Amino acid sequence: MAKDQTTNPKARSWINVDPESHFPIQNLPYGIFSRRHEPKRACVAIGDQILDLALLYDEGLLSQGHIPFNVFALDRLNEFMACGRPAWQSIRRRLFEILEEKTADLRDNRELQKRALIPMGEVQMHLPVFIGDYVDFYSSEQHATNVGSMFRPDNPLMPNWKHLPVGYNGRASSIVISGTPIRRPNGQILPPNEEKPIQSASKALDFELEVGFYAGKANELGTRVATSDAEDYIFGLCLVNDWSARDIQRWEYQPLGPFLSKSFGTSVSPWVVTLDALAPWRVSGPRQSPAVLPYLKYSGKWRFNIELEVWLQSEKMSAPQRICKTNFKNMYWNMAQQLAHQTINGTNVQVGDLYASGTVSGDKPDSYGSMLELAWRGERPIALNETGETRAFLHDGDVVAMTGYCQGDGYRVGFGECVGQIQPAKEIA
Ligand code: CA
């Protein structure tokens, strides 16, 4: 197979892209945008602009062999995703070609450029995908061990953890686009040293740094997806913040797992970075011991070297402070195994389903992907250096910004940001 030119590190666009931009010509992540009162439609990011794909299609610039109609004029990516991997790849190759410095089609058409390229500051981004189902995994060994050791010091990892990628069915309706404020949830909590619960706003609101993938292909109910076919089912990746109310969670989670402690809001980044764009950052490992069952065996590189960071800014601070730096390659279970496990019982994956990785934690104290771990259950509050404030959990007004990128030689393939600000709880009578 010919080497994929769309990831060539030496490729350059006729559009000027800063070396620290997340959106060079090698990335071309998909999103849904709107401007003023115009309808939502699909775009890719290039430098600090977006490229209007619906317009390019209408102007006849996109190869239309695999695309039955102008799927880019819709307010979600699902229909494009459903066109399948050959279509994803041919559109990616064509977009790359249009933006490459040697191609004149758009480069020399100033009139079309004015309409097709829009500064990011002038557009509003929307949820890129209609998400029918949402699953959250728990695939970082370090995270599972950290959390387990707080609640079960003698037995941090449950006996099943190394045999299957633990997960739960989450709530899709409350998934929101980056920038949407997050309301502190009310619920039931059991105060320390009490026997009866109270109704209260959560006092232990937390974030979870995760990476998710959108399914781009469906399997029929009753069939399964083999790890060797997983590639065709994964359209692209995004950043996910699985907001979590730890006090509500602690009281409700046994015996059936998290329920209202997670369902009040989940934030996703606006950009979907394709598997093809991430190909140069795929790495192998880890060694899984004990050996997994046959349906979870896989081949190829299924870890991704994606630098991840979390930044926190209180209302008093003038700039955010980085509180976590970790890497997605830390994960124990991978996306191919998650899909194979999800469908081993015949569950039907649908186009647009979101699968989140679980909190990404590394082995250093500043590489933990939640405040529960960073502040170790409140025992080691995080110091906010600018104002002298401390944080065990999130306060009203706090802004949490997650970011992630793959570092290349002189360029970055990134995810942009996933941001949310905490709003005070609603009064409950
Ligand atoms: Ca989670």
pLDDT, one tens digit per residue, over 175-196 is 999 999 999 999 999 999 999 9
Q: How many CB atoms sit inside 10 A of residue 125's CB?
A: 21
How many A from CA of 335 to the centre of ligand 1? Answer: 15
pLDDT, tens digit (0-9, with 9 covering 90-100), for 358-399: 999 999 999 999 999 999 999 999 999 999 999 999 999 999
What is the chain's mean pLDDT, rounded? 96
Ligand 1 mean position, distance from CA 353 (Å): 16
∠ CA 5-8-13, nearest 5°, is 95
Kindly tell me the burial class for residue 154, based on how many C-beta atoms sit within 10 Å of its own C-beta (0-12, 13-18, 19 or more).
exposed
Confidence at 2, pLDDT banded by 50, 70, 90: low
For 18-69, how does the pLDDT look when each residue is reduced to its tens digit (9 = 90+)?
A: 999 999 999 999 999 999 889 999 999 999 999 999 999 999 999 777 788 9
Ligand 1 center from residue 138 Cα (angstroms) = 6
Indicate if 126 belongs to the active site. Answer: no
Alpha-helical runs (H) found in 193-272:
230-233, 246-252
Q: Evaluate whether 332 touches 139 at the Cβ level (below 8 Å).
A: yes
**Residue 112 CA, ligand 1 centroid: distance in Å:** 43
**The pLDDT of residue 167:** 97
Residue 164 has pLDDT above 50, yes or no: yes
Residue 385 Cα to ligand 1 middle (Å): 28
Q: Which of the residues 22, 143, 341, 395 is marked catalytic?
A: 143
Instruction: Record the tokens describing residue 183, joined without a space.
Output: 């309301």
pLDDT at 1: 44
Model-level pTM?
0.97
- In the predicted model, is pLDDT for residue 166 greater than 90? yes
Query: Tokens standing for 322?
Result: 């980085």
Query: What domains does the chain contain, in order, with CATH numbers?
Result: 13-126 (2.30.30.230), 134-423 (3.90.850.10)
CA of 140 to the centre of ligand 1 (A): 10
**Residue 208 Cα to ligand 1 middle (Å):** 6
